[in-house]
Amino acid sequence: MVWLGLVRAGGEGQTGRMGSTVTCLLPDLPIVEMVVDGVLTADDGAEAMQTGLDLSMTHDIWATLADFTHMRQTAPAGDIVALAEVLANLGVEDRWREAVILPSDPTSAVWVHLWETAAVNRGLAVRAFHDRDEAVTWLLAPDAAPAPR
């Protein structure tokens, strides 16, 4: 798996252990961003989610933008559903929400829709978008709602 860049939170840089990027866009946007390029394994996804949640808790920023535009392959279906289950059991559903930018690869997009469905079915506010601007607008809207079940 290839992730791009540096982990930044409020201007403080940290390099994650995996070759990944999770960026907290402060002060311009109160959003934690994860960017995936290439293959996303179950371990990489779980570690990226943990890093994002750590940034959310540290900075009290609960909007996450997951950019999967250039993802070519993802974890197996069971791992995707299991990650949604773990996240749902953390008790963050009243604060946390995630906008996901769909991959350009149609096969990979199916797996991202599986993530969206698994998360929404567990009470999490996750919604998939084709367009980054629409995703950011949804995240910043005070009444952002999850995708319909």
* Residue bearing tokens 């974890």: 75
> Can you give the pTM of this predicted structure?
0.78
> Is residue 105 helix, strand or coil?
coil
**Buried b vs exposed e over 11-42: b needs ≥16 C-beta within 10 Å?**
eeeeebeeebbbbbbbeeeebbbbbbbeebee
pLDDT in tens, the chain (149 residues): 222 222 323 333 333 333 355 555 545 889 999 888 777 777 777 788 888 888 888 889 999 999 988 887 777 788 888 888 888 888 888 899 999 999 998 988 998 999 999 999 999 999 999 999 999 999 999 776 554 44
How far is 115 from 77, CA to CA, in rounded Å? 9
How far is 36 from 139, CA to CA, in rounded Å? 19
